[in-house]
Structure 1
């Protein structure tokens, strides 16, 4: 009888089949894309402090994180990440400029005086209404507009 494992002098087993190559890594472009989208949305709402400054800051951070992925070879959208960084910084700068404009306008129409008046009025509804009327008059005088009172 033959020993276990096959015939003596037989052919060797066939070589194993070649496997499929490992799957190629899918680029992780999400941070760069998110940076650009948030920067664009921030620029659309740059007149509000939230839109320009907050979204611009988040877009800039995400853009730098996306650019780091490009440098490591994990992403391939370096241009998108850079665009998100640049537009995010523009949003921050323009948003801060708008914030300065809003603050100056608020002080010009007597916004600080309005809050002081409301503090002094306490819970007295008549005094609160007088504060609102005086503030409305200040806005109309300073900006040369006529505001329609709400009931």
Structure 2
């Protein structure tokens, strides 16, 4: 048996289906997808890749669990958001690890010391050339 919609309720407002308790929208899925896309686009930043990716992963898992339990739709959207979030998170962690290893390398420490003691632009350029040779060898 179907019931007519209440006249004050807009047609696209989040509501439950009568008698089932299933919502027509899944805000966790939407949040996961948006944050996952942003995480993939901004993976090279700590906030963009790591933080947004982690949030997308969490929201995607929550959204998928609600959808699997029959409490909300859009399970695939939740999964896609979680996967994109995980990819952004992984890429960001890799970029951070590479950056940390470069900054802790002996070659970079030598370059930093050379630049600190350089008095002119030509001496700084020589430091850069030496650093490039050290990295390539």
- TM-score tier by shorter-chain length is 0.5 to 0.7
Distance 1:41 1:140 in 2: 37
- 1:5-84 paired onto structure 2 within 5 Å: 21=3, 23=5, 25=16, 26-84=23-81
Cα–Cα, structure 1 residues 65 and 140, in superposed 2: closer, same or farther, change >3 Å?
A: farther
Aligned partner of 1:142 in structure 2 is: 131
1:131 aligns with 2:120: no
Distance 2:45 2:71 in 1: 35
Cα–Cα, structure 1 residues 66 and 110, in superposed 2: closer, same or farther, change >3 Å?
A: same
Gaps of 5+ in 2: 6-14, 17-22
Deviation of the 1:54 alpha carbon: 1.3
Gaps of 5+ in 1: 1-19, 118-129, 145-151
Larger Rg: 1
Runs of 4+ in structure 1 deviating by more than 3 angstroms, as ranges, are: 130-134, 136-141
Q: Aligned residue pairs: how many?
A: 110
Deviation of the 1:22 alpha carbon: 6.5
Distance 1:97 1:103 in 2: 10
The TM-score, its normalising length taken from structure 1, stands at 0.59
Cα–Cα, structure 1 residues 133 and 67, in superposed 2: closer, same or farther, change >3 Å?
A: farther
Q: Deviations over 1:40-83 (max 9, x none)?
A: 11111111222221111100000011112212323211110000
The TM-score, its normalising length taken from structure 2, stands at 0.64
Aligned partner of 1:97 in structure 2 is: 94
- 1:106-125 paired onto structure 2 within 5 Å: 106-108=103-105, 109-110=108-109
Deviation of the 1:88 alpha carbon: 1.2
Distance 1:104 1:139 in 2: 18
Query: 8 Å contact 1:38–1:55 — kept in the other structure?
Result: yes
